[in-house]
Structure formats: structure tokens, C-alpha cells
Amino acid sequence: MSYRLKKLNSQIKKEITKIIQEEIDDPRVEMVSITRVVTRADLKEAHIYFSVLKEEEAKDVSKILNRMRGYLRRILGRKMRIKILPSLRFFPDDSIRYSVEIYRKIEEIMHGEENNSVDKRE
């Protein structure tokens, strides 16, 4: 990924976070955290990943944000002066849950090895 694209992703993430916090009055999206932005190389589309406190609300929040994407893009366009403003798509970010699952599996394996080494000593 080019430096320019990384910078654009960072700026979109910062601006979308501010827009959601300051401009949207919907209590369902109050506790949304933008975790990462991935913009296509041709700048036509930006995938915006978010997390919410309650995982079961992620699907509803995704629908809400995707319905508002035109509005969000319009405000983003006013804040960012760039030649090509990508269209926005919102997705729940499951990387945090995935990381927790991997950590849990590692703990299980480590705990299993400890039990096996104790059994072999006896």
C-alpha cells in the first residue's frame, strides 16, 4: 500500500469518527468505534470497519451506517478537499473477536501442555 493511500485511509478514519460523534444524533451509533479504513487503489470505494460494545448490535449498526453513507460522504467531502472522494461501505470489524479466540486457543494449548508435562513427571 502506498504512503498516499495510507495517509488517505488515516484521514478518512479520523474524519468519519468525528462526523459520527458530532453530527449524528442516533443513539444506536453513539458507541461506534472506527477501527480501520481500507480504500481501493483506484479510490472508488473505501471499506470502513467499525466495532460496537455489544456484538449483537453490529448488524443493525451496519445497516444504519450504510443507509447514511450518502449523507456521511457528503459531509466528508466538505471536510476533505480531495479530487476523488471514494464511496463508503461500512462493515463490522470482527478482528478483535478473532484475536480473542486465537488467544483463548493458545491458552488452551499452553494449559494442555502444562498438564501433559506434569503427567509425564509422575
Residue 33: name the closest of 46, 44, 18 by CA.
18
CB–CB of 61/28 below 8 Å? yes
Q: What is the DSSP letter of 54?
A: S
Is the pLDDT at 23 greater than 80? The verdict is yes
Is the pLDDT at 42 greater than 90? The verdict is yes
Domains and CATH numbers, the chain: 3-93 (3.30.300.20)
Long-range contacts formed by 14-19: CB under 8 A, 24+ apart: 15/76, 15/79, 15/80, 16/48, 16/72, 16/76, 16/88, 18/79, 19/72, 19/75, 19/76, 19/79
Q: What's the predicted TM-score (pTM) here?
A: 0.79
| pLDDT for res 120 | 55
| CA separation for the pair 91, 96 (Å, rounded) | 13
| pLDDT for res 112 | 76
| pLDDT for res 73 | 95
Residue 24: name the closest of 67, 54, 86 by CA.
67
Is the pLDDT at 71 greater than 80? The verdict is yes
| pLDDT for res 114 | 64
Span 63-90, average pLDDT: 94
